[in-house]
Amino acid sequence: MNATTPRFAPVAESPRARVLRSVRGTAPIFLVLAVLLVWIAILNPNFTNPPVFLAFLKRAAPLMLLAAGQLFVIVSGEFDLSVGSLITATVVVAARLIDGEPGLTWPVIALLLGMGVLVGSINGVVTTRLRVPSFITTLGMLLVLEGAVFYWTGGAPRGSLPENFRQFGRFGFEGVPVIEQLPYSVVILLVLGAVAVVLLHRTTFGQQLFAVGGNARAAALSGVAVARVRTVAFVLSALSAVVAGILLEGFA
């Protein structure tokens, strides 16, 4: 009789178990968030009114989008310090190029998104190909963008934005039952937030991103294009900064 070593097939994790594991890992964060919201509601009872809460979300949407984009870079194991200066550049460039002309809104938005792709690509290439630490790379990009804006404007930003550009951060869908107005910025936040969740948890790119952040060498040996994945993460972070800047211009 030949003795054989029994082999056990790995048990696939059920969707419910996967969700519970994810909730357990993030529970402390949501607990802190819930405590903060309750504290704000105690200080300001009107905060729980739907219109007031949506007004709060409208102003918070740019920061939340910025954080969502930054998440891709952090998951990949890198940092992006340039997003703040990219928002500044977005605001200044838009006001200077449009200068009150409504017909230039969409061409300038396309240009701004292209600027985001360029900045993110440079950050990614310098970090992955030239092997400069992302902390140094993005800090340098921060200084370059701030210097370029200061040089172009002479320290005194000029120009103005038309209403059809400001509308994304300032206005919304009117006449909505109960909430009265659904801000455009909240809709943009929900849509892009859903896209971010799908990218991270439902695509091959998301799996590769987590693999790279966990162990870049092992991911590379498994056939993952580490440089490409990290560069895409930097591009997504930069694009989120541009969108956040566009929304913030609604309050300019």
- The residue-averaged pLDDT of 85-102 equals 93
**In total, how many domains does the chain have?**
1
pLDDT higher than 90, residue 176: no
Q: What are phi and psi of 28, to 5 degrees?
A: -60, -35
Alpha-carbon distance of 127 to 80, in angstroms, equals 11
For residue 75, being part of any structural domain is answered with yes
For residue 44, being part of any structural domain is answered with no
For residue 37, being part of any structural domain is answered with no
For residue 35, being part of any structural domain is answered with no
For residue 116, being part of any structural domain is answered with yes
For residue 191, being part of any structural domain is answered with yes
Top-confidence residue, 137 or 250? 137
Instruction: Give residue 181's pLDDT band: very low, low, confident or very high (50, 70, 90).
Output: confident
Alpha-carbon distance of 99 to 97, in angstroms, equals 6
pLDDT score for 8? 45
* Collapsed DSSP state (helix, strand, coil) of residue 173: strand
CB 188 within 8 A of CB 247: yes
For residue 125, being part of any structural domain is answered with yes
State pLDDT tens for residues 6-47: 554 444 455 566 556 666 667 788 788 889 889 988 988 888
Can you say whether residue 227 is alpha, beta or left, with left for phi > 0 and alpha for psi between -120 and 50 degrees? Answer: alpha
pLDDT higher than 80, residue 165: yes
For residue 230, being part of any structural domain is answered with yes
Q: Please identify which residue in the block is written with the tokens 């909240």.
A: 186
